[in-house]
Amino acid sequence: MAHKLAAGNWKMNGTRADLGQIMALAAAHPDPAVDISVCLPATLISEAAQHVADHPITIGAQDCHSAGSGAHTGDIAAQQLLDAGARDVILGHSERRTDHGEDDALIRAKLVAAGDAGLRPILCVGESLAERDAGRTLERIGAQIDGALEGSDGPPSALVIAYEPIWAIGTGRTPSLDQIGEVHDFMREQLKARYGDTAAAAVPLLYGGSVKPGNAAEIFGVPNVDGALVGGASLKESDFTPIITALSAS
């Protein structure tokens, strides 16, 4: 069975003055059976990692370059993130796909780089509202998973997949529980077809997109939902801890 994971994505938010939220989260950690990761802006990773060194929380990054080093001004290699204290990295987030034109081939290369460095990749997939309305959700999700994992003989090291419908990110809108369940069941079957039942069952499948304390419990009650990738509600411990508590109780 996949381990439960609550991952926070601070996006382009936060300064050193906000790291107290990480310490408050560490103090409030409700259940060691639930993994917690907070994916921070690169400027905060090293100091945050030092703060949680003695706590069961990992610090993550929000992207990495596909190359291990070289003339890539402004980019950060996976090994450099690991050296700074990151243990996880978000890859293929819709905002990276949209804002930076990232395609499946590039995301696949980044996934390999992250795995080679020893980072746990959190692969994001999700459909637009137009794709949802056209009945192409599963087609889109399947293409993103196949594109990212093409050529791999087994799941990349400690792979996590997060389903984030683009139209639900930061909008307050969420798919119905049946819609979430349909996508998560589909993703599990995709992994089974590629890697077999045992390996597929070990991959945590997260839901992301306007996850809040008020809707977390019902989302975590959906089969094959092993946790959440949380955006705005992860910025404050008082919002993130109830989501973690709901996951622990699921």
Indicate the SS3 state at residue 91.
strand
Taken in order 169, 170, 173, 177, the sign of the CA dihedral is positive
Percent of the chain with pLDDT over 70: 97
Better pLDDT: 153 or 55: 55
164 is catalytic: yes
Better pLDDT: 171 or 176: 176
Residue of 93, 102, 127, 184 marked catalytic: 93
Which domains are assigned to the chain?
A: 4-249 (3.20.20.70)
Q: Is 232 annotated as a binding residue?
A: yes
pLDDT tens digits for range 204-236: 999 998 899 999 999 999 999 999 999 999 999
Residue of 95, 102, 127, 164 marked catalytic: 164
Q: Do 219 and 164 contact (CB within 8 A), yes or no? A: no
Indicate the SS3 state at residue 96.
helix
Q: Is 208 annotated as a binding residue?
A: no
pLDDT at 177 over 80: yes
Bridge partners of 208, per DSSP, are: 229
189 is catalytic: no
